[in-house]
Chains A and B, each alone.
Chain A
Amino acid sequence: MPNAYKEQQLHDALPTTSHDELARQHFVRSFKEHLVTDLHPGLKTVYEKRAKGKFIAEHQREPETIQEVGQVMKQDSHYQAWSSLLRTSQEMMWSSAQIPVQRAIHELATQASETPAAGSLRLNPDLKIPAYHTAVDIHCQPGGYHTEYINNDVAQGAIYDRAVYIYAMGQMGVNNADMGDSTVAWLKREHPELKPTRILDMGCAVGHSTLPYVSGFEGAEVHAIDVAAPMLRYAHARASSMGLPVHFSQQNAETIDFEDNSFDLVVSHILLHETSSAAIKNIIRECHRVLKPGGMMLHVETPPYEGMEPFDTFLFDWDSENNNEPFWRKSHLLDLEALARDSGFQSHKPIQIMVPSAFQETQRSNTFQGGDFGGGGVWFVYGCQK
Chain B
Amino acid sequence: MSPDESEITLQRKAKGKRPYYFANPDVDRLLSMVMALTGELSVTRDRLDTLERVAAEKGLFSSEDIEQYALTDADMEARAARHQTIFKEVTRIIVGELEDLEATEDRDYSAVVSQVENDG
Binding site for B on A (CB under 8 A): 19-20, 23-24, 26-28, 30-31, 74, 79-81, 83-85, 87-89, 91-92, 94-96, 98, 101-102, 105-106, 134-137, 140-144, 147, 149-151, 155, 321-322, 324
A372 to B41: give the CA distance in the assembly, Å. Answer: 27
Q: Chain A nearest CB: distance from B46 CB in Å?
A: 4
Query: Could you tell me if A143 and B11 are in contact, using CB atoms closer than 8 angstroms?
Result: yes
Q: Chain A nearest CB: distance from B32 CB in Å?
A: 5
A142 to B13: give the CA distance in the assembly, Å. Answer: 5
Q: Chain B nearest CB: distance from A191 CB in Å?
A: 39
Whether a CB of chain A sits under 8 angstroms from the CB of B36 is yes
Query: Could you tell me if A147 and B4 are in contact, using CB atoms closer than 8 angstroms?
Result: no
Query: Could you tell me if B22 and A136 are in contact, using CB atoms closer than 8 angstroms?
Result: no
Q: Chain B nearest CB: distance from A7 CB in Å?
A: 14
Having A30-B42, A144-B15, one finds 11 other A-B pairs with CB under 8 Å, namely A19-B47, A23-B46, A81-B21, A84-B22, A87-B19, A88-B31, A101-B10, A137-B16, A143-B14, A147-B11, A150-B4
Candidates A30, A91, A142; contact of B11 at CB < 8 Å: A142
Query: Could you tell me if B43 and A24 are in contact, using CB atoms closer than 8 angstroms?
Result: yes
Q: Chain B nearest CB: distance from A231 CB in Å?
A: 15
When distances are taken between beta carbons in the complex, the residues of chain B under 8 Å from A26 are: 42, 46
Query: Could you tell me if A136 and B39 are in contact, using CB atoms closer than 8 angstroms?
Result: no
Q: Chain B nearest CB: distance from A277 CB in Å?
A: 19
When distances are taken between beta carbons in the complex, the residues of chain A under 8 Å from B38 are: 27
Would you give the 0/1 interface string for B77-100, flagging 1 where the beta carbon is closer than 8 Å to chain A? 000000000000000000000000
* Number of B positions contacting A (CB below 8 A): 30
A96 to B39: give the CA distance in the assembly, Å. Answer: 10
Would you mind naming 10 contact pairs between A and B with Cβ atoms under 8 Å apart? A19-B46, A23-B42, A24-B43, A27-B46, A85-B31, A87-B19, A88-B31, A95-B12, A98-B10, A102-B9
A137 to B21: give the CA distance in the assembly, Å. Answer: 20
Assuming the contacts A26-B46, A31-B35, A102-B8, asked whether A94 and B14 have C-beta atoms less than 8 A apart, the reply is: yes
Whether a CB of chain A sits under 8 angstroms from the CB of B5 is yes
Q: Chain A nearest CB: distance from B90 CB in Å?
A: 22
Residue of B nearest to A80 (CB): B21
**Per DSSP, are chain A's interface residues mostly helix, strand or loop, or mixed?**
helix
Query: Could you tell me if A28 and B15 are in contact, using CB atoms closer than 8 angstroms?
Result: no
A140 to B43: give the CA distance in the assembly, Å. Answer: 24
Residue of A nearest to B29 (CB): A84
A96 to B12: give the CA distance in the assembly, Å. Answer: 11
Residue of A nearest to B33 (CB): A88
A26 to B46: give the CA distance in the assembly, Å. Answer: 10
A223 to B11: give the CA distance in the assembly, Å. Answer: 31
Candidates B11, B20, B39; contact of A24 at CB < 8 Å: B39
A87 to B25: give the CA distance in the assembly, Å. Answer: 13
Candidates A23, A28, A89, A140; contact of B47 at CB < 8 Å: A23
Assuming the contacts A23-B46, A151-B4, asked whether A142 and B10 have C-beta atoms less than 8 A apart, the reply is: yes
When distances are taken between beta carbons in the complex, the residues of chain A under 8 Å from B22 are: 80, 84
When distances are taken between beta carbons in the complex, the residues of chain B under 8 Å from A80 are: 21-22
Query: Could you tell me if A140 and B14 are in contact, using CB atoms closer than 8 angstroms?
Result: yes
When distances are taken between beta carbons in the complex, the residues of chain B under 8 Å from A83 are: 19, 21
When distances are taken between beta carbons in the complex, the residues of chain B under 8 Å from A137 are: 14-16
Query: Could you tell me if B10 and A81 are in contact, using CB atoms closer than 8 angstroms?
Result: no
A19 to B4: give the CA distance in the assembly, Å. Answer: 28
Whether a CB of chain A sits under 8 angstroms from the CB of B28 is yes
Query: Could you tell me if A106 and B43 are in contact, using CB atoms closer than 8 angstroms?
Result: no
A79 to B23: give the CA distance in the assembly, Å. Answer: 12
Query: Could you tell me if A84 and B16 are in contact, using CB atoms closer than 8 angstroms?
Result: no
Residue of B nearest to A79 (CB): B21
When distances are taken between beta carbons in the complex, the residues of chain A under 8 Å from B47 are: 19-20, 23
Assuming the contacts A136-B14, A136-B15, A324-B16, asked whether A84 and B21 have C-beta atoms less than 8 A apart, the reply is: yes
When distances are taken between beta carbons in the complex, the residues of chain B under 8 Å from A102 are: 8-10
Q: Chain A nearest CB: distance from B83 CB in Å?
A: 25
Query: Could you tell me if A92 and B36 are in contact, using CB atoms closer than 8 angstroms?
Result: yes
Query: Could you tell me if B14 and A324 are in contact, using CB atoms closer than 8 angstroms?
Result: yes
A147 to B13: give the CA distance in the assembly, Å. Answer: 13
Query: Could you tell me if A23 and B43 are in contact, using CB atoms closer than 8 angstroms?
Result: yes
Candidates B11, B31, B39, B40; contact of A84 at CB < 8 Å: B31
What are the 4 A-B residue pairs with the smallest beta carbon separation, nearest first?
A136-B16, A23-B46, A137-B14, A140-B14
When distances are taken between beta carbons in the complex, the residues of chain B under 8 Å from A92 are: 35-36, 39
